[in-house]
Amino acid sequence: MSRISEKFRELKRMNKKALIAFVTAGDPTINGTIQIVEELERGGADIIELGIPYSDPIAEGPVIQEANKRALMNDIKIKDIMNMVREIRNKVKVPLIYLLYYNCILQYGIEKFFEECMECGIDGLIIPDLPFEELSEIEDVSTKYEDIIDVITLVSPTSGERIKRIAKRARGFLYCVSSLGVTGEREKFSTDFNEFFSVINDSTSIPKAIGFGISTPEHVKMLKGYSDGLIIGSAIVRRIGESTTIEEAVKNVGEFVASLRKALDES
Amino acid sequence: MVGHLKEMEDVIRRDNNRDDIRNKSRDNKMENKGYGHGRFGKFGGRFAPETLMNALIELENAYLKYKDDEDFNKEFIFYLNEYANRPSLLYYAKRMTKDLGGAKIYLKREDLNHTGSHKINNVLGQVLLAKRMGKKRVIAETGAGQHGVATATAAALFDMECEVFMGAEDMKRQSLNVFRMKLLGADVREVKSGTGTLKDATNEALREWSSRANDTFYVIGSVVGPHPYPTIVRDFQSVIGKEVKEQIIEKEGRYPDYLIACVGGGSNAIGLFHPFLEDKDVNMVGVEAAGKGLDTNEHAAAISKGSIGVLHGMKSYFLQDSDGQIMPVYSISAGLDYPGIGPEHAYLHEIGRVEYVAVTDDEAVEAFKYLSRIEGILPAIESAHAVAYAMKLAPKLSKEKTIIINLSGRGDKDVYSVAKYMGVDL
C-alpha cells in the first residue's frame, strides 16, 4: 500500500481529516523550501505537495505563477529538486507529492522520472495537464510503480458523466476541484457540493480531497464535512511571497497552517 | 535494369505515401468518436486541465453537429464571400516570374481579405459556431494583433462581447492594432506573465476560459491547442486550398508543382496544403522563422530546431530545454514568434509529406522589399518568409513548373518594423 493510502487509513482510524499543503519547490530558494516543508509538518500538514516550477503553468492562478517565476529565476532544475527531496525525506515523515506539468516528465524521460521519484521518496504525482483520457501516455511506466507512486487524478464540478470513469481508476485520493478556473484564493464557492459529492461518492470509496481556492479557517470548517481532506496552496504560497526573509516565511506559514489544523480538528 | 529498379522504388514510395495518407484519414475519422483523442499520428491530443475538459467536449460535439450542416455552411460561405471578400484572387506574378527566370509564380492573395489576412476565415467560422452554441462572449489570444483584430471585427459584426489577451511586450510593439481592437469595441487584456508574448497570452486565454466556459467561446487563432481546435481551424482555413484547386485548373489546366506558405502555428499553411495532401505530385514547403539564424538562440523554428513536447494542450514540436521549460523565441515577425507548431504539421513533417525549411529576418526583409518593388504588393512580414523561400526555389526550376505562394496577409502593419530594421527613422 502506498504511503498516501496508509496516511488516509491512519487518519480515518483517528477520525481526522487530511490537511494537504502545497508549496512551489525552490520558492524562494531550495534551502527555503526545505525549512518551510519541515515547518508545514510541524504545523500539522498530513501530506505535502511540491510544485515543480514551470514556464507555462496553465492551471495556476497569479499567486502560484509568481512563485514559479521566483523559483525559475534561480535557474532551478528537476535534478536539483530531486536532490532537495532526498534531503527532505530524511527530515519529514509525511507523504510527498509532486505537482508538475506533463512536458517536464516527457523531457526528463518517463521511466527515469518515475525511477528517481521512487528512489528519492516521492509518493504521488499530480499532473494537471494529463487528464484521464491521456493517461495512457505514461501507463506503461506508471503501472510498474503503482504500489509506491500514486498518479492522482482530478474531477471538477463540470466533469459530469466522466466522474464515474475517473473515480473508478483513481489512486491515492481523488482530487476534487472546488470550482471552475485556475488555482487561487476565492472568497466563496458557487459549486453545489451536495450534488457534486453525491455523484463522486456514488462512484468510489477512495479518499477525496478538495482543492482550489481554500484559503481561510472558515473555508476549512465549511468544506471539511464533504471530503477526507482539504488542499491549501495559494494561501500558503502568498504568505511565502509576502515574506522578506526565509525566517519570516517559515513563521508565517507555520502559524497559518496551525490555524487551518485547528479549524480542521474542531468538532 | 537500373531504371526498372528505380521505377519499383517509386511505386513503393508512392504506396507508402498512400498508406500514410490513408492512416491519416483514419486518424481523422477517429477524432469523430465522442471522446476521441484527436491525434495526427502521435501528435495532437487533448492535454488540458480537468476544468477545461467539459468545455472541449462540448465544443467538439457542437462542431461535429454543425460541420456538415447545410444551414451552417451556407451562412459561413455567405459571410466569407459577402463580408470578407472571398474568394481571394490567385494572381500570376508575371514580373517576379520573369525576373527570377524559372518556375511560374502565383500569389494567393489572402492579403486582400477584410482585416488584411487569412485570419478572418477561421474567425468567422468559429464565431458563427459560438453563436449556434448560444455563447454571448468571445475571447481570443493575439500576438501581432491580426487574430485579435479579426476576432474583434467578427464580435462587432455579430454583436458579441469580446476580450482579447495580448502580451505586454506585444502591446508595446503593436500599439496600432491595440487601438484598432478598441475601436472595434473589444477589451484588450494585458498579459504580464512569463515572457509577455503570444505564448503567455494563450496561457491566459486558456485560464480565463477554464473559469467562464459556460457563456464564453474561446476563438483560437491557429491550428494549435487541445483537440478539437487544430481540426476546426484547419477545416475553416481549408477554403484557401479549395479555391486554389479551382483557380489553378482554370489558369494552368493542372495542379501546381509547389505550394509554399509561412508557418508559425501553421493555419495559413494548413489551409492551403490540406486540400492537396492526397495529390502526391504537389510538393509542399512550410517556411519557419529562422530569426537571426538557426545557429543562434534567436529564432522560432520549432520543427527545424525543436523537439517533441507538450504545451497548450497538444503534443507537437517545441523549442524547449532538457527539463521541458519552454524557451523564449524570436522573429522579426510577431505572427511567427511562437515556440511551437500545430500538431498536424508535426505529423506531415514526420511522414515526409511536407518539407519544412527556415528563412532568416534578413532574407524576409529582402523579400518584403523585393515584392513591394517588383509587383507593387507589400506582403505581411510573415508571408515575406514564404516569398523569400520561393525566391530561392524558383530559379532552380524549369519554366514549365508552377509555384503558389500563400500571401497570408498585407504588410502595412509591418512598415514601422521594417523601417526600423533598415535603420530608417519614420
Q: Work out the widest C-alpha separation in chain A, in whole angstroms.
A: 47
Q: Which among B307, B310, B320 has the least Cβ separation from residue A102?
A: B310
pLDDT in tens, B21-46: 444 444 443 343 333 479 999 999 99
pTM passes above 0.90: yes
Q: Which among B212, B308, B324 has the least Cβ separation from residue A104?
A: B324
- Among chain A residues, the shortest Cα distance to B202 is held by A58
B139 and A CB contact within 8 Å:
no
Q: Which amino acid is at A117?
A: C
Neighbours of B99 (CB within 10 A): 15
Question: Quick one: residue B88, left, alpha or beta (phi over 0 = left, psi -120 to 50 = alpha)?
Answer: beta
pLDDT in tens, B117-175: 999 999 999 999 999 999 999 999 999 899 999 999 999 999 999 999 999 988 988 88
The gap from C-alpha B365 to its chain's centroid, in whole angstroms, comes to 20
Q: Under a CB-based contact definition with an 8 Å cutoff, are residues B281 and B10 in contact?
A: no
Q: Under a CB-based contact definition with an 8 Å cutoff, are residues B80 and B239 in contact?
A: yes
CB spacing of A180 vs B51 below 8 angstroms: yes
Domains and CATH numbers, chain A: 17-265 (3.20.20.70)
| pLDDT above 90: residue B277 | yes
Strand B39-40 and strand B43-44: the pairing is antiparallel
Choose, out of A107, A210, A234, the residue to mutate when testing the contact with B (most B CBs < 10 Å): A107
Q: Where are the alpha helices (DSSP H) in B103-145?
A: 119-132
Q: B256 to chain A nearest CA, in Å?
A: 39
pLDDT in tens, A88-121: 999 999 999 999 999 999 999 999 999 999 999 9
Contacts of A182 in chain B (CB under 8 A): 51, 207, 210-211
Q: Which amino acid is at B296?
A: T
Distance CA B228, CA B233 (A): 9
CB spacing of A134 vs B322 below 8 angstroms: no
ipTM of the complex: 0.96
pLDDT value of residue B6:
52
pLDDT in tens, B361-417: 999 999 999 999 999 999 999 999 999 999 999 999 999 999 999 999 999 999 999
Q: What share of chain B is helix, strand, coil (3-state, %, to 5)?
A: 50, 20, 30
- Among chain B residues, the shortest Cα distance to A135 is held by B47
Which amino acids of B are annotated catalytic? Answer: 119, 141, 408
Please give the C-alpha separations between residue B293 and each of A63, B300, B329, B336, B359, in angstroms, as whole numbers: 37, 10, 12, 14, 8
Phi, psi torsion values for B229, nearest 5 degrees = -55, -50
Q: A53 to chain B nearest CA, in Å?
A: 9
